[in-house]
Structure 1
Amino acid sequence: MTDPERGATAAHAHTGAWVTQVLRERISAGELLPGTKLAEQALAESLAVSRNTLREAFTVLAGESIVERVPNRGVFVASPHAEDIREVYRIRRMLEPAALLWGELGEETVAGLHAVVDRALAARDAGDVRGMADANQHVHGTIVALSGSETLRTVMDQTLARMRLVFHGMAAAPDFHARYAERNRVLVGLLESGCREDAAEAMRDYLDTAERELLDWLGHEDEPKSGSGAAQGIR
């Protein structure tokens, strides 16, 4: 899709889907952080869309757990809770090992994965936490794209956007991304060598370990599994 920040095509501009993508990308990029209130009038004016169109986008993003509506307060960028993290990793366990086992793999794709892993490792060496996180996310999106399914790619895009919300809370823990950049290098090596079952098993361990670490870091283990963070005053 055309970058909405650099001029969308006439077919997409000013539609609910276009606005949804703009907001999703801004949230993923860290321009709108967890807990940020999305001011309806200001956003509608800045995007040159009607408030009804903006509300359509809010409805879609709420369904993706990227924003949350708080009665009598407005719409906020979601602040992930324990159950949100667990749900993200449930989705990833179903998608990523399966893509490693059965996805269509070509030399160009492998070369692309190596390039992204190299970018993550270079960002690690430069102390660029955001660059490292971006590259790591790209690796996992590319793995699911091996399925050849646009539906699964869309699900993964939505899931990675939710992961971004979690990662915004990990800014003070650069070692988290550094360790997984190295694990991604190993995963791509297994895939390239044809060890698909080993790669899938390594991915399962990867996801289990990352989930535990995130829950531990964010201190969510004992948090209630339902309810709005904003409504409970967690912000």
Structure 2
Amino acid sequence: MAASELDPLLASLSAARLQRRAVMSTSAERAAHALREQVTEGTLRSGTRLPEVRLAEALGVSRNTLREALSQLVAERILVRVEHRGVLVATPDTAAVRDVYAARRIIEPAAVLHGPAVDAAHLDALDAAVREGTAASGRGDWTGVGSANQHFHRAVVALAGSERLVAQMELLLAEMRLFFHQMGDPEPFHAPYLDENAVIAGHLRAGRREAAATRLAAYLGTAEEQLVAGFGEIAERARTTPA
């Protein structure tokens, strides 16, 4: 992402801060959340270098506070520090895919099967994410479909009724978006899961929690293998392409 391409992002961060009227000058956590959300929603992509001064201004924080926020995101594997280049959005590998899906296979089916928050509001959030994805696919907006998929899985984990699990899922979803970036054309990856999300939401709406959990577990396994295969193809191309 070129420096000029960062301008809309920085303007968005600044506008959001002003709209919320949040005092962020002493809050590294809020700054980290704002940047993490930009990764989750696909605005910040792998390899993007983060300009410290401009980011601090956009977020309304001191440079020391921003550095604390960046260090937090580095610890979360969302950002990396590169000598002579500064802080960049991470570029994940196959090991990261395996690790993230190991966590997701434990968290998400359990939230569906045992979560105490399977109520009208949470079911409505699942349905809303399904409709969002369907609408985006109708427009040919596959990046938007990816965002809707993120929203669906966020709503799945919310069924657990645990703020701690929801916070953990935010970290996993940010890494997930970085995985998607590596796959190139988003349509082949996201298209099959539109119907899967609708089926899972339908099972939950009908009270078929075990069926929903079983379907979700299978879905996550398929998605993991699809990503691993895609990463393998990327690595092979890099190995065989002349420098």
* Same topology, TM > 0.5: yes
Select the structure that is richer in helix: 2
Q: What do the CA deviations read for 1:156-195 (whole angstroms, capped 9, x no partner)?
A: 0111111111112334131221111111011111112222
Which residue does the alignment assign to 2:130? 117
Matched, 1:201 2:214: yes
Q: What letter is aligned with 1:82? A: T
Offset of residue 144 of structure 1: 0.5
TM-score (norm 1): 0.86
- Cα distance in structure 2, aligned partners of 1:5 and 1:16: 14
Q: What do the CA deviations read for 1:31-73 (whole angstroms, capped 9, x no partner)?
A: 3210111122332233342221111011110111100112343
Q: What letter is aligned with 2:160? A: S
CA contact (8 A) 2:25 2:62 kept: no
RMSD: 2.1
CA contact (8 A) 1:124 1:132 kept: yes
Count of equivalent residues: 221
Other structure's SS at 1:76 match? strand
Offset of residue 10 of structure 1: 4.0
Q: Which has the higher contact order (CA 8 A, sep 6+)?
A: 1
Which residue does the alignment assign to 1:228? none
- Cα distance in structure 2, aligned partners of 1:220 and 1:19: 35
- Cα distance in structure 1, aligned partners of 2:52 and 2:123: 43
- Cα distance in structure 1, aligned partners of 2:167 and 2:121: 22
Deviates more, 1:19-28 or 1:136-145: 19-28
Q: State, as a whole percentage, how many aligned pairs show the same letter.
A: 43
Other structure's SS at 2:88 match? strand
Q: What letter is aligned with 1:71? A: E
2:44 to 32, 35, 51: 32
CA contact (8 A) 2:122 2:158 kept: no
Q: Which runs of 5+ in 2 are unaligned?
A: 1-14, 237-243
- Cα distance in structure 2, aligned partners of 1:8 and 1:122: 28
- Cα distance in structure 1, aligned partners of 2:59 and 2:129: 32
Q: What do the CA deviations read for 1:138-159 (whole angstroms, capped 9, x no partner)?
A: 1110110111110000000111
